């Protein structure tokens, strides 16, 4: 919270007196009893209220007329279709605009493949621009080119599509925060930006896991706040790729404790899957798309099971299947 700053009535002497009474920040000043503030500062109540009003005017959000909100609600874009029929049917409307979407799964489950296919589909039929933030260094323009060639596109058309996918390589969380901040402030302007894909966030957060000073949580919170602001302000979709880990718990049942006699202990293995980034992150995405690679595959096609969960009703899980082949994700 911002510290109290000098005001017409808040001189250096008064600020020092307030600090001595543990009234340091703006929040401290607003929460304190007005009569107590008057007694400490020797200012009358009207002056205290005037200071508070000045703080509200400076830090409060701008007022928006209800009719303006209604018009914005019915005219703004709310979803972006993925271009994958089975996935769009399961999502009902597509990737939500103004909210955060997470794509997660075990290693090798097709997360990056899906992200590259989504980037192609988002820009293929329109003037939309996708900002693809690669944190692993494995974005493949060659892979995208092969997908486009499989669909019979000319080199000119492929070049147009590739130019609409703006790739940025980010290697630490501070760089990501600066990038999002520059977009917010207008330092970095991207016309017709419709989607930001970050593949993946845990790669930037692993180095901060276990920090005693909670710096990792602070960085994560800033990324989330910037992402939410940009998604709502610029009406864009925001996709984060998350990693899923698998844990195997071994439960041993001793037959001596049971009625049946047996000389060999029974082993039971319980598999647990966990989304990375901790408990705080679990409540952040409005939509979670979980990928599970199935063992049923051929030389030319891999089948992936997709589980979709909305934050509105997390217990209602929908599913579908997508196929990954030389023609991309279908």
Distance CA 285, CA 231 (A): 12
118-127, 158-167, 182-191, 262-271: least confidently modelled range:
262-271
Contacts of residue 36, Cβ cutoff 8 Å, sequence gap at least 6 = none
pLDDT of 186 reads 92
Under the banding of pLDDT at 50, 70 and 90, the label for residue 263 is: very low
Looking at the chain, list the stretches that DSSP marks H as alpha helix, in order from N- to C-terminal side: 12-20, 26-31, 34-41, 45-59, 66-75, 85-91, 111-124, 141-150, 155-164, 173-185, 202-205, 215-233, 278-282
- Map residue 249 onto helix, strand or coil: strand
Residue 214 has pLDDT above 80, yes or no: no
What is the distance, to the nearest Å, from the Cα of residue 103 to the centroid of all Cα atoms in its chain? 10
Under the banding of pLDDT at 50, 70 and 90, the label for residue 207 is: confident
Residue 115 has pLDDT above 90, yes or no: yes
Under the banding of pLDDT at 50, 70 and 90, the label for residue 260 is: very low
Residue 236 has pLDDT above 70, yes or no: yes
Going from N- to C-terminal start, the domains of the chain cover: 12-59, 73-245+273-329
Distance CA 52, CA 7 (A): 11
Under the banding of pLDDT at 50, 70 and 90, the label for residue 187 is: very high
Distance CA 154, CA 147 (A): 12
60 against 38, higher pLDDT? 38
Q: What is the average pLDDT score of the chain? A: 86
60-69, 164-173, 178-187, 287-296: least confidently modelled range:
60-69
Under the banding of pLDDT at 50, 70 and 90, the label for residue 57 is: confident
Structure tokens at 291: 């990928």
Residue 230 has pLDDT above 90, yes or no: yes
Peptide linkage before 200 cis (omega within 30 of 0): yes
For domain 73-245+273-329, is the CATH number 3.40.50.1820?
Answer: no
User: Residue 101: beta bridge partners?
Assistant: 239, 287
117 against 261, higher pLDDT? 117
60 against 202, higher pLDDT? 202
């Amino acid at each position: 919270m911002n510290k109290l700053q000098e005001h017409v009535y808040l001189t250096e002497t008064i600020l020092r007196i307030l600090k001595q009474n543990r009234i340091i920040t703006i929040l401290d000043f607003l929460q304190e009893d007005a009569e107590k503030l008057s007694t400490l500062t020797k200012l009358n109540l009207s002056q205290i209220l005037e200071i508070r009003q000045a703080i509200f005017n400076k830090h409060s959000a701008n007022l928006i007329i209800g009719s303006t909100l209604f018009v914005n609600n019915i005219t703004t874009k709310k979803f972006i279709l993925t271009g994958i029929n089975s996935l769009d049917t399961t999502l009902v409307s597509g990737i939500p605009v103004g909210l955060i979407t997470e794509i997660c799964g075990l290693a090798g489950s097709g997360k990056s493949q899906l992200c590259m296919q989504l980037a192609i589909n988002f820009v293929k039929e329109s003037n939309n621009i996708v900002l693809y933030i690669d944190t692993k260094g494995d974005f493949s323009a060659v892979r995208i080119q092969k997908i486009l060639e499989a669909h019979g596109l000319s080199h000119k058309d492929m070049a147009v599509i590739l130019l609409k996918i703006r790739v940025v390589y980010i290697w630490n969380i501070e760089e990501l925060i600066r990038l999002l901040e520059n977009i917010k402030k207008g330092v970095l302007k991207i016309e017709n930006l419709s989607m930001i894909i970050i593949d993946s966030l845990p790669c930037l957060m692993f180095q901060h896991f276990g920090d005693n000073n909670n710096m990792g949580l602070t960085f994560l919170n800033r990324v989330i706040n910037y992402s939410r602001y940009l998604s709502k302000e610029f009406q864009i979709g925001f996709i984060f790729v998350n990693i899923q880990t698998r844990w195997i718990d071994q439960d041993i049942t001793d037959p001596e404790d049971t009625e049946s006699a047996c000389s060999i202990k029974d082993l039971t293995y319980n598999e647990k899957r966990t989304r990375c980034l901790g408990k705080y992150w679990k409540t952040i995405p409005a939509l979670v798309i979980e990928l599970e690679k199935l063992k049923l595959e051929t030389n030319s096609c891999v089948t992936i099971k997709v589980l979709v969960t909305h934050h509105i009703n997390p217990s209602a899980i929908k599913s579908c299947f997508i196929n990954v082949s030389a023609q991309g994700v279908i």
